[in-house]
Structure 1
Amino acid sequence: MEPLELVPGRYIGEGQPCFVIAEIGQNHQGDMELAKTLRQAKECGADCVKLQMSSLPHKFNKQALSRPYNSEHAWGETYGDHKKHLEFSRDQLHELQEYATQHDIPLTASAMDIPSLYVLHELNVPFIKVGSGDIHNLPLLRTAAACSKPLVVSTGMSDIAWVSQVYEELTIQDPPTPLVFLQCTSAYPSPPEQTHLRVLDTYAQMFPHAHIGYSGHELGIHVTIAAVARGARVVERHLTLNRTWKGSDHSCSLEPHDLRELIKAIRSVEAALGSPLKAFQPSEEACFMKLGKTLVAARPIRAGQMLEEDDLVAKVAEPRGIPAQRLGSLVGGYLNRDVEQDESIMEADVL
């Protein structure tokens, strides 16, 4: 599959670094100044920051908005008041987009409904994110696909049959929608035993026109690092300034120092994955010179005597002679001089 340009100048795919999305979501508490902490994502090495955008009457019905909200995380007496506190307007999102541009990091958002999708399309975000809450919302997915932008879809709260149906919906046209599927478990935090990183392998086999990634809600960074080692080309983690703040996402979010460590570890893992071709490495030279075995005489050998395997033994020896792996090529051959027991066999000794 061809590499995909997810943001200008930054590709994902085979041979490309894993793309890291710092999900601010609604961890900004409805405060524009807190939202501008997105600049720290850039400092940590993230490739993109992401918010969430909803048109509340289009995402929720009246009863959902008017129900009392007695949670410790509430920002209002009703759920509608709570969500209204956390929502940014189109103009505020545009201001944050410009702020992100000034700090040289792309900004996008999850579209939680079709009107919000249209706003994001108008603002020309680099790609559209559809969260797990809308994996079953085919009208939204189809409309997002029609925007002719890369589409990143989290697949929490669904099974492989449904994800397969979504894949068919999004790739039926020619050319297919530029698509990224993120394996995701929609629990906050998600338990490691329910994360199932092997799903990344399943997705890679079943969905050849989709790039594969991981959206994590677990505590810590080690599971996300494992996802990269498993082949995730995109990872997404929530970012907060303080995990103890009010809000359901903060506890499973990363603070800036965590995000920095995660990205550092991802880059180290990518370097370690390297090539599938097994080869002697330059860094091994010193160890080989110290511990690499040489063929030496297991007993005295006379010139012209046909060599048998028992005549030779591998040892760390001085001077270094013929390497141990060439034992088979010497058996049946001859030496051109007498060699004493425990003496190195040198290239010049072989007829």
Structure 2
Amino acid sequence: MSGPGTASRFTVAGDDPFIIAEIGVNHDGRLERALELVHSAASAGADAVKFQWFDPRELLSSSASLVAYQREAGESDPYQMLSRLQLSSDDMARLISCARGLDLQSIVTVFTPHLVGKAMELSWDILKTASPDLINRPLLEAVDGTGLPLLVSTGGSTLHEIQESLSWITTNEPGLLHCVSSYPTADQDASLGAIRVLGETTGLPVGYSDHTTALETGGLAVAAGATILEKHITWDRKAKGPDHSSSMEPDDFSRYVAFARRARQMVGGFEKSVAPSERAVIAASRQSVSALIDIPEGTVLQRKHLSTMRPGNGVPPAQLDSLVGLRVLRTVTSGSLISYEDLQSESDS
């Protein structure tokens, strides 16, 4: 895709946006539900599915706490919440296999360097870091060292922090995901204009990790320059859990994907050119130089003889003044187009 950022491994055929169905923890710690969501993502037309891999014992200190949206979802303890939402390494292997069988790429967000090593024991296609870990240098250096394609979320960060984090990634060219770390994200906070800023500043492929509730946001992000979209999906927005309420159910996600791909078609190639479908209309509706009155054979043209009329397959209006002073070789009736073949310069007579 031309425009903000550069082409990358995160684009697909026809420059369509690379669309990630973020299953995250919406499987509720159940492999069977995770597998169902992988199938839902494939049916909706996603390009990839993403999961989160964490170990609460490594991730949470004794002073860790819940954030507001997690408490509002009914959670009371961060350790219990994450423990309930874990999947095993064997579960992850099953999910990768399922995704591959459905022609989906598999992505995992890792939260600690130790899990980067465990992730490399499986066959993930892409690694990702979450927004809070943008400033986590040890983790970024660990994922950078794997050689796998890397996505970096940027929610809650400044441009300076993003640029600093990129200086730690030396062997990889990551894709950046603009993100707003509020769940759900209000329309006035979506800040889709930042997509172009990130692309122009870094030269990297840039996408949007979408936490809004609107079906149209993905398409709007594509129009703003996003080449990657990430959207949470769930089996039930009313289910108990931290992310269900800001996610999309399968039917809505299918519409979201379709609208985003349609938006990409409508955006085109970030250039101004004549579409093939316009050519016949332009030829019929542009104007050409015409005779304002009957012009007898042998007349030397004056401005008063000339006007413009449709269609546009004759002398262009911009050339009208250049015809003044030329001699008419045959009678041209009022309302007829004048062609160069009808004219002779005085020097040729």
Which band: TM-score by shorter chain? 0.7 to 0.9
- Work out whether residues 55 and 115 of structure 1, in 8 Å CA contact, stay in contact via their aligned partners in 2: no
In the TM superposition, 1:94-105 aligns within 5 A as 94-105=93-104
Closer/same/farther in 2, CA of residues 207 and 285 from structure 1, 3 Å limit: closer
Shift of 1:184: 0.7
In the TM superposition, 1:194-213 aligns within 5 A as 194-208=189-203, 210-213=204-207
| Residues 51-90 of structure 1: CA deviation (Å, up to 9, x unaligned) | 1110111110134389xx9946346x63322221111011
Q: Secondary structure at the match of 1:118?
A: helix
In the TM superposition, 1:307-346 aligns within 5 A as 307-316=301-310, 321-324=314-317, 326-346=319-339
| Residues 7-43 of structure 1: CA deviation (Å, up to 9, x unaligned) | xxxx469x73321111011111222221112112112
Distance in 1 separating the partners of 2:317 and 2:258: 40
Closer/same/farther in 2, CA of residues 201 and 3 from structure 1, 3 Å limit: closer
Partner of 1:62: 62
> Which amino acid in structure 2 is aligned with residue 206 of structure 1?
T
> Which amino acid in structure 2 is aligned with residue 97 of structure 1?
I
Kindly indicate whether residue 45 of structure 2 is the aligned counterpart of residue 45 of structure 1. yes
| Residues 270-298 of structure 1: CA deviation (Å, up to 9, x unaligned) | 22333455443321244335533343211
Partner of 1:150: 149
> Which amino acid in structure 2 is aligned with residue 255 of structure 1?
E
Partner of 1:185: 180
Closer/same/farther in 2, CA of residues 72 and 215 from structure 1, 3 Å limit: closer
Shift of 1:332: 3.9
Shift of 1:162: 0.8
Kindly indicate whether residue 302 of structure 2 is the aligned counterpart of residue 303 of structure 1. no
Shift of 1:233: 1.8
| Bigger shift: residues 21-30 or 301-310 | 301-310
In the TM superposition, 1:23-172 aligns within 5 A as 23-36=22-35, 37-64=37-64, 71=71, 73-74=73-74, 78-171=77-170
| Bigger shift: residues 88-97 or 266-275 | 266-275
- Work out whether residues 6 and 205 of structure 2, in 8 Å CA contact, stay in contact via their aligned partners in 1: no
| Residues 87-121 of structure 1: CA deviation (Å, up to 9, x unaligned) | 10111111111122222212121102222222212
| Residues 174-199 of structure 1: CA deviation (Å, up to 9, x unaligned) | xx412111111000111222222222
Shift of 1:250: 2.1
- Work out whether residues 4 and 12 of structure 1, in 8 Å CA contact, stay in contact via their aligned partners in 2: no
Q: Secondary structure at the match of 1:135?
A: helix
Q: Give the gaps of 5 or more residues in structure 1.
A: none
In the TM superposition, 1:181-330 aligns within 5 A as 181-208=176-203, 210-288=204-282, 290-316=284-310, 321-324=314-317, 326-330=319-323
Closer/same/farther in 2, CA of residues 348 and 126 from structure 1, 3 Å limit: same
> Which amino acid in structure 2 is aligned with residue 220 of structure 1?
A
Partner of 1:4: 8
> Which amino acid in structure 1 is aligned with residue 43 of structure 2?
E
Closer/same/farther in 2, CA of residues 200 and 301 from structure 1, 3 Å limit: same
Shift of 1:226: 2.0
Q: Secondary structure at the match of 1:23?
A: strand
Shift of 1:128: 0.8
Closer/same/farther in 2, CA of residues 160 and 281 from structure 1, 3 Å limit: closer
**Between Structure 1 and Structure 2, how many residues are aligned?**
338
Question: Percent of counterpart pairs with the same letter?
Answer: 28
| Bigger shift: residues 132-141 or 47-56 | 132-141
Distance in 1 separating the partners of 2:286 and 2:99: 54
Distance in 1 separating the partners of 2:321 and 2:222: 42
RMSD: 2.9
Higher relative CO (Cα under 8 Å, sequence separation at least 6) belongs to 2
Partner of 2:347: none
> Which amino acid in structure 1 is aligned with residue 191 of structure 2?
H
Closer/same/farther in 2, CA of residues 97 and 277 from structure 1, 3 Å limit: closer
| Bigger shift: residues 264-273 or 233-242 | 264-273
- Work out whether residues 233 and 247 of structure 2, in 8 Å CA contact, stay in contact via their aligned partners in 1: yes
